[in-house]
Structure 1
Amino acid sequence: MLFSDAGVVADLLVIGQDEDGPGDSATAYDLRTGAKRWRATVPSSTRRVPSPNS
């Protein structure tokens, strides 16, 4: 894993993780119970890339 990031969306904690290969993953957990709600493969092109001008 090269990076991960997290954010809160409604009642979910969503964690994005870099994975080897063409896709990364996003996993959502219920904020109240901690139970995993879903996991999805997402294209690597959705990852944030820092800009030299930022």
Structure 2
Amino acid sequence: MIGLQWSNVVKDPYNTEDDFNFRWCNIMMVIDSGIYFILGWYVRNVMPGES
């Protein structure tokens, strides 16, 4: 049975040659969230609109 379990979070279910797995998806999502947070904070402080 193929599915996401705690025992195979870092394993590639299809045994391909790349290192893409669920853990890297989560790491990229956290990094993207940080980038968008910083970008939004910067834009909001540099060009504040009428509140």
Using the size of structure 2 for normalisation, the TM-score is 0.18
The higher relative CO (CA closer than 8 Å, separation ≥ 6) is in 1
Q: Of Structure 1 and Structure 2, which has the larger fraction of its residues in helix?
A: 2
Q: Which has the larger radius of gyration?
A: 2
Q: Of Structure 1 and Structure 2, which has the larger fraction of its residues in strand?
A: 1
